[in-house]
Amino acid sequence: MTPLRRLLIAVVALVAVGSLAGTAVAADPVELGGKLRTGDRVVVETDELVPGNLYVIAGSAEIHGTVRGDLAVTGGSVVVDGLVEEDLLVLGGNVTVPGGVGGHVVVFGGNVTISGPVGGDVLASGGRISLAGDVAGDVRAGAGELRVAGTVGGDVASVGGSTNVVGTVGADLLVAAGELRIDGTVRGSAVGTAGTYERRGSVGGDERITLPERTEPAPGDRVLSGVFRFLAVLVVTVAVVLVARRSVDRIVDTAVDRPGWSLLAGLVAFAGAIVALVATIVVGIVVSFAFAAARLGLVVATYWFAFGVLWVVVGFTAFVVANFGAPIVVGLGAGKLAGVSLDATASRIGVLAAAVAAYTVLVALPWVGGLFGFLAFLLALGAPILAFRAAREAGDRPEPAVS
């Protein structure tokens, strides 16, 4: 059985037992020959020797002893400072591996620190990943921040926010990052793309880091782009206001009468969407491992297809609200506060045209424009939520009795 096959089977065991742990039909660890350990805190003491594979599901896990086979751990906090003679798989929040691993390491976590020696490859995904130990094989990482401080015998492939090589990469560095720094040594080539690139160390092979071209548009192009944007937004917003006049009036009235609550509702909806996105990604990772090991690739493909469709819809909704909803709510709301009559169609279109023009200029301003645009987005997102809720509650109220 290959190491990756054993790791995938280990994930299946973790997912299956984790789903049953809170029920009466949960598997008995004794029946698994002592290979499974669960609890709020699981500790393998320094003098303990585990003769084969070990699967751990715990709130916190500490592995101080020796595991002769594979070790698969899931937990909020995971520390492995003992010895794992074969492969290590970890799903956790904070993951620290100062101990040695004879085989491959696969880690999914928030903060990941690997400071001990690894005899095989490292596959890691996390918010912050620090590799301070020596890795005999290759490193594949996806992280918000990756720091390579030890010696990697093979290639390092990194995708994420920032990559910093302080130690030594024995082969090639392949990167796609917002920020790349090489303060150490890359014995092979450095190839990839980066938003910014700084090198104080050395690269033994080719150095092909592609940086984005920053060309300032000509003043005439800026003006023309602004005019086209203004006309496009104006046409769409006028059409929406004319077709859905009553709904728009209800939303604008809500934004004017309850601006604070509208902003709060928009912020909650925005934060909820981000939390839901992170949650669906985490669930997708677990589902992918579990069903791939069970040869149910169709289930995995269906999940990620549904995930893509859902977030395309969410992204399109956010685009519509930011580019069309915000000018409508802010513009008509400002006109109402200024005492301008919006009863006549011509008056309404005039106010909207002025609002779209002002909105286009304001959001283009540095710093202030970004803040103004975000607040307008939250207002345009929250006001319809409150308006819909108020309309539904009004519809649920009984009609007054007629005497």
Least confident piece of the model among 80-84, 368-372, 393-397:
393-397
- Amino acid type, 346: A
In this predicted model, what pLDDT tens digit does every residue of 311-347 receive, in sequence order? 788 888 877 777 778 888 887 787 778 777 667 777 7
159 vs 394, residue with greater confidence: 159
Percent of the chain at pLDDT above 70?
81
State whether residue 66 is helix, strand or coil: strand
Query: Does residue 403 or residue 155 have the better pLDDT?
Result: 155
Helix, strand, coil in percent for the chain, rounding step 5: 45, 30, 25
Q: What is the pLDDT of residue 181?
A: 95
Query: For residue 20, what pLDDT band results from cuts at 50, 70 and 90?
Result: very low
| Residue 354 identity (one-letter amino acid) | A
> Nearest CA to 293 among 1, 19, 57?
1
- Please report the pLDDT score of residue 291 as a whole number: 60
What's the pLDDT score for residue 10? 45
Decide if pLDDT at 372 tops 90: no
Burial of 54 (0-12, 13-18, 19+ CB in 10 A): buried
Q: What is the pLDDT of residue 251?
A: 87
8 Å CB contact between 42 and 29: no
State residue 8's pLDDT score. Answer: 45
Q: Convert the pLDDT of each residue in 153-201 to its tens digit.
A: 999 999 988 999 999 999 999 999 999 999 999 999 999 999 999 999 9
Residue with tokens 């918000």: 144
The average pLDDT across 114-126 equals 93
Stronger pLDDT, 284 or 150, i.e. the higher one: 150
pLDDT at position 382 is: 87
pLDDT score for 226: 65
Q: In the Cβ-directed half-sphere of 72, how many Cα atoms lie within 13 Å?
A: 21
Q: What is the DSSP string of 273-337?
A: HHHHHHHHHHHHHHHHHHHHHTT-HHHHHHHHHHHHHHHHHHHHHHHHIIIIIHHHHHHHHHHHH
The gap from C-alpha 114 to its chain's centroid, in whole angstroms, comes to 22
- Distance between CA 188 and CA 230 in Å, rounded? 50
Q: Judge whether residue 150 has pLDDT over 90.
A: yes
Alpha-carbon distances of 21 from 13, 14, 257, 270, rounded to whole Å: 12, 10, 50, 33
Parallel, antiparallel or unpaired: strands 156-165 and 36-44: unpaired
Are 41 and 118 contacting, i.e. CB atoms less than 8 angstroms apart? Answer: no
Query: Other C-beta atoms within 10 Å of 8: how many?
Result: 20
Rounded Cα gap, residues 38 and 24, in angstroms:
15
Q: Return the C-alpha torsion angle 353, 356, 358, 360, nearest 10.
A: -140
Is pLDDT larger for residue 320 or for residue 386? 386
Residues 264-318 pLDDT 10s: 988 998 898 888 888 877 777 776 666 654 555 566 667 677 777 887 888 888 7
Segment of 3-7, 9-13, 123-127, 395-399 carrying the highest mean pLDDT: 123-127
User: Is residue 121 within 8 Å of 154, Cβ to Cβ?
Assistant: yes
pLDDT beyond 70 at 152: yes
- The residue-averaged pLDDT of 5-9 equals 45
**Phi and psi at residue 167, to the nearest 5°:** -90, -135
| Residue 400 to residue 168: CA distance in whole angstroms | 79
16-20, 109-113, 151-155, 329-333: which has the minimum mean pLDDT?
16-20
Q: What is the pLDDT of residue 215?
A: 63
Predicted local confidence at residue 180, as pLDDT: 95
